[in-house]
């Protein structure tokens, strides 16, 4: 390759790379739009009920009534209320039903063997009957339309036209920004240098924690906003445990209603994560089959595989139980929940460090490296 290039050739190369960057930006925008439009069609989110009513309205439905408080931490709205929990637009309200009709018929979906639960709800819902009125089945005032209170809270949402105008404006900002960045980079460094630098970055064995964190933030944002899913590790293992648990106890409410047999999103994400990590490890030269951690573990606990594997299994089981109680793991609660500003995410992180620090201190004792 000639070291000295003519100014014309340099300019042409810069131009080439600029178009490549532009094309990449356009493809990214197109993919985002495709994914966003597919969201409504595939109905990927587990329940649009909680999403709209809780993240957009001011927590109206949680803990307002006793049965709401009792069911608040699950995603069970549709079990009682009907409707279409996989639809994100107004169609979600199609097929709404009175939750307490037919003597708690809908409660039986989960509580078939505990009739006292829905008897108590029915009693709570029964309007005080005027003395002397004819005895009969209680008439429940059930109006699926949003209440006045709900609509004031929802007034903050934007109408469709403003939304698309915002989208066009943001697209322009992104395109102009990419264009400028590509132009400046091409002028300053030259496309060849840029390309070899990029290749070196991908082969580097370790990236800065801040860079990884920021990119992970982007991944979380895409997962949450485009696909309506929290990024999750523990969710995958709950899905994987499903078939086994359903085999052992086929009537369990948890394994049929909470962890639904049709759910596979998190397992697929997990498979993708294994593939992504393997790719990164191979490119960075860190892939190797090994039975024990490379360093530190053997200094403290010795080289016994049995010891490492039993403690790793025990720790893993504890994280699964703890994650179940807390309602998520580091990725699905601390990270995704924190990005959505959920108070629970920060309570979880506080708990994680409050227990992790003394446990590590206990395990390591005097070891101080």
Partner 1 sequence: MSIVAALGIGFCFGWLLEKAGLARYDRVVNVFRFRDFTVLKLLLSALVVGSVGVQASLALGFSRSVPVPATFLAGNFVGGLIFGVGMALSGFCPGTIAAGIGEGRLDYLIAGSLGLVAGAWIFGALYPRLFPLLARGAHTAATISQWCGVDPWLIVVLLAELAGIACYAAERARRVANRGPNRDA
Residues 272-301 close enough to bind partner 1 by CB under 8 A: 272-281, 284, 286-297
Residue 59 interacting with partner 1 (CB under 8 A)? yes
Single residue of 132, 136, 244, 366 touching partner 1 by CB under 8 A: 244
Ranges within 169-208 binding partner 1 (CB under 8 A): 170, 204, 206-207
Residue 82, φ and ψ in degrees, nearest 5: 70, -150
Q: Which two tokens stand for residue 52?
A: 């709209």
Other C-beta atoms lying within 10 Å of the C-beta of residue 278: 11
Q: Verify binding: residue 44, partner 1, rule CB under 8 A.
A: yes
Length of the chain: 369
- Please name the residues in contact with 255: beta carbons below 8 A apart, sequence gap of 6 or more: 242, 245, 246, 249
Q: Do 231 and 332 contact (CB within 8 A), yes or no?
A: yes
DSSP string, 229-261: ----SHHHHHHHHHHHHHHH-TT-HIIIIIS-T
Place of tokens 């697929």: 268
| Contacts to partner 1 from residues 115-154, by CB under 8 A | none
- Is 9 a binding residue for partner 1 by CB under 8 A? The answer is no
CA dist., res. 74 & res. 47, Å (int): 10
**Would you give the binding string for partner 1 spanning residues 85-104, x where CB under 8 A is met?**
---x----------------
Q: Which is nearer to partner 1, 21 or 255 (CB)?
A: 255
**Near partner 1 in 210-229, by CB under 8 A:** 210, 212-229
Q: Select from 240, 237, 220 the least CA-distant residue to 322.
A: 237
Does residue 17 contact residue 182 with C-beta atoms inside 8 Å?
A: yes
Q: Considering only residues 163, 178, 195, 200, which one is a binding residue for partner 1 as defined by CB under 8 A?
A: 163
Shortest distance, position 285 Cβ to partner 1, whole Å = 11
Site residues for partner 1, window 335-354 (CB under 8 A)? Answer: 335-354
Q: Is 71 in the site for partner 1 (CB under 8 A)?
A: yes
Taking the complex as a whole, the smallest distance from the CB of residue 204 to partner 1 amounts, in Å, to: 8
How far is the C-alpha of 230 from the C-alpha of 332, rounded, in Å? Answer: 5
Task: For the CB of residue 173, give the shortest distance to partner 1 in the complex, in Å.
Answer: 11
- 53/154 Cα distance (integer angstroms): 9
3-state secondary structure of 138: coil
Contacting partner 1 within 318-337 (CB under 8 A): 318-337
Site for partner 1 contains 30 (CB under 8 A)? no
Decide if residue 265 touches partner 1 (CB under 8 A): yes
Choice between 7 and 341, CB closer to partner 1: 341
Closer CB to partner 1, 180 or 240, in the complex:
240
């Amino acid at each position: 390759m000639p070291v000295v290039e003519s100014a014309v050739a340099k300019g042409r190369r810069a131009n080439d790379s600029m178009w490549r960057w532009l094309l990449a930006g356009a493809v990214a925008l197109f993919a985002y739009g495709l994914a966003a439009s597919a969201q409504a069609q595939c109905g990927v989110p587990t329940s649009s009920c909680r999403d709209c009513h809780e993240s957009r309205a001011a927590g109206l439905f949680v803990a307002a009534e006793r049965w709401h408080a009792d069911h608040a931490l699950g995603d069970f709205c549709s079990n009682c209320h009907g409707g279409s929990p996989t639809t994100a637009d107004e169609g979600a309200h199609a097929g709404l039903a009175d939750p307490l009709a037919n003597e708690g018929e809908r409660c039986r979906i989960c509580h078939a063997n505990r009739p006292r639960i829905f008897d108590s709800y029915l009693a709570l819902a029964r309007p005080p009957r005027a003395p002397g009125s004819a005895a009969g089945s209680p008439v429940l005032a059930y109006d699926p339309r949003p209440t006045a209170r709900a609509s004031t809270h929802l007034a903050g949402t934007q109408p469709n036209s403003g939304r698309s105008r915002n989208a066009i404006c943001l697209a322009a900002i992104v395109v102009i920004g990419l264009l400028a960045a590509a132009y400046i980079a091409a002028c300053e460094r030259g496309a060849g240098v840029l390309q070899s630098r990029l290749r070196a970055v991908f082969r580097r064995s370790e990236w800065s924690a801040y860079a990884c964190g920021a990119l992970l933030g982007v991944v979380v944002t895409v997962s949450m906003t485009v696909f309506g899913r929290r990024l999750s590790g523990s969710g995958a293992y709950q899905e994987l445990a499903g078939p086994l648990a359903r085999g052992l106890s086929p009537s369990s409410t948890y394994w049929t209603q909470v962890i639904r047999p049709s759910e596979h999103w998190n397992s697929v994400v997990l498979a993708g994560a294994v593939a992504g990590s393997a790719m990164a490890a191979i490119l960075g030269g860190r892939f190797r089959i090994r039975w024990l951690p490379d360093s530190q573990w053997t200094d403290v606990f010795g080289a016994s595989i049995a010891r490492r594997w039993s403690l790793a299994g025990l720790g893993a089981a504890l994280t699964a139980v703890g994650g179940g109680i807390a309602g998520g793991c580091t990725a699905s609660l601390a990270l995704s929940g924190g990005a959505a500003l959920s108070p629970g995410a920060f309570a979880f992180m506080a708990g994680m460090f409050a227990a992790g620090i003394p446990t590590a201190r206990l395990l390591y004792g005097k070891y101080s490296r």
